Amino acid sequence: MKRAKRSLMKKLFALIVNSVFLFASGNLQAQSLEPLPIWPGGAPGALGTEPKDIPTLTLYFPKKEDATGAAIVICPGGGYGGLASHEGKDYALWLNEHGIAGFVLKYRLGSGGYRHPRMLEDVSRAVRLVRAKAGGWEIDPHRIGIMGSSAGGHLASTLLTHFDFGKSDSADPIERQSSRPDLGILCYAVITMGEFTHQGSKRNLLGTDPSPELVELLSNERQVTANTPPTFVWHTFEDTAVPVENSLQFAAALRKAGVSFDLHIYEKGRHGIGLANGHPWTKDCLFWLKQHNFTR
């Protein structure tokens, strides 16, 4: 019975993916009809089958004549307890305006009873899925980025420092794909689990009494290597929720590892400002994306 149910779910997953492709390939600017579940047989470690237990991607495609072939997976913030739509859908539509496909990830949360590594599993799977379906979605598999804000920025920075190159012997073609993003965008991100962390995010991700080893592992400024992808990092001096030291420490680690980056610290701006009605970070980011051939 379990095997038959799993087979049915895989067939349904394939049907949804194909439907999204058919819808998107002929459309000008399109959101997928329905959020796309990223695990056809259920997510690893799922605690149930409610919406909170089913990670999804919502697909936003630019006008076909504007498309550059680049894509970015977007991790909204929310302290690992919720997901902020203005740091998800709004970013995707902004990226669409500049020819980039946006994939908004609904990942599992501490408020739903989940802890690390479930969030990392979800974001890794999301990048693998986009890469596996790149041909059908007219995306360059070598121009797939990751973007995150606040706690979503922590998740994005976790993937930037904890990616893998896939399992070549997996029966699942998606799991054979690399989860390494080609670049990252970190918006007022939580980076560290140490002195300058956001306590609510840390608690939702690691629980109330994490081991020192786990704190070290998820303090991503301590996990940067020469293989970490190029990253655009921005923060504001006035941020009282997530200290600016998070971005400064990550940039310092990138510098030490010899990884290229663009760092912007703006004096004004509260935490969670998102696009902020034309805040200069968007222009600076677009300039940087152009240097990496994500925009024209």
Please report the domains of the chain, with CATH numbers, ordered by start residue. Answer: 2-291 (3.40.50.1820)
Task: State the average pLDDT for the chain.
Answer: 91
pLDDT band for position 118 (50/70/90)? very high
Parallel, antiparallel or unpaired: strands 184-187 and 261-266: unpaired
* Cβ proximity of 139 and 100 under 8 Å: no
**Out of 26-35, 68-77, 235-244, 276-285, least confident range:** 26-35
Q: Give the pLDDT of residue 7.
A: 52
Please state the rounded mean pLDDT for residues 222-243. Answer: 97
* Cβ proximity of 153 and 191 under 8 Å: yes
Question: Does the pLDDT of residue 283 top 60, yes or no?
Answer: yes
* Cβ proximity of 59 and 118 under 8 Å: no
Residues 6+ apart with CB under 8 A from 240: 270, 271
pLDDT band for position 32 (50/70/90)? low
Question: Does the pLDDT of residue 26 top 50, yes or no?
Answer: no
* Cβ proximity of 228 and 257 under 8 Å: yes
Under DSSP, is residue 153 helix (H, G, I), strand (E, B) or coil?
helix
Please state the rounded mean pLDDT for residues 125-129. Answer: 98
Residue 72: closest CA among 296, 234, 294? 294
CA 2 to chain centre: 31
Packing angle, helices 199-206 and 151-162, rounded to 10: 60
SS3 for 267-294 is: CCCCCCCCCCCCCHHHHHHHHHHHHCCC
pLDDT band for position 210 (50/70/90)? very high
User: Could you give the CA distance from residue 144 to residue 72 in angstroms, rounded to a whole number?
Assistant: 5
Question: Does the pLDDT of residue 82 top 70, yes or no?
Answer: yes
* Cβ proximity of 187 and 145 under 8 Å: no
Residues 6+ apart with CB under 8 A from 100: 62, 68, 70, 71, 72, 289, 294, 295
Q: Give the pLDDT of residue 31.
A: 57
Tell me the whole-structure pTM to 2 decimals.
0.90
Q: Give the pLDDT of residue 27.
A: 44
Q: Using CB atoms within 10 A of its CB, is residue 26 exposed (0-12), middle (13-18) or buried (19+)?
A: exposed
* Cβ proximity of 153 and 144 under 8 Å: no
Question: Does the pLDDT of residue 100 top 50, yes or no?
Answer: yes
Q: Give the pLDDT of residue 33.
A: 55
pLDDT, tens only, 239-277 = 999 999 999 999 999 999 999 999 999 999 889 899 988
Please state the rounded mean pLDDT for residues 180-200. Answer: 98
pLDDT, tens only, 138-184 = 999 999 999 999 999 999 999 999 999 999 999 999 999 999 999 99
Question: Does the pLDDT of residue 56 top 60, yes or no?
Answer: yes
Percent of the chain surpassing pLDDT 70: 89
User: Could you give the CA distance from residue 39 to residue 174 in angstroms, rounded to a whole number?
Assistant: 10
Q: Give the pLDDT of residue 278.
A: 79
Q: Give the pLDDT of residue 15.
A: 47
Tell me the residue type at 242: V
Tell me the residue type at 47: L
Q: Using CB atoms within 10 A of its CB, is residue 275 exposed (0-12), middle (13-18) or buried (19+)?
A: middle
Backbone phi and psi for residue 125, each to the nearest 5 degrees, phi listed first: -65, -40
Percent of the chain surpassing pLDDT 90: 85
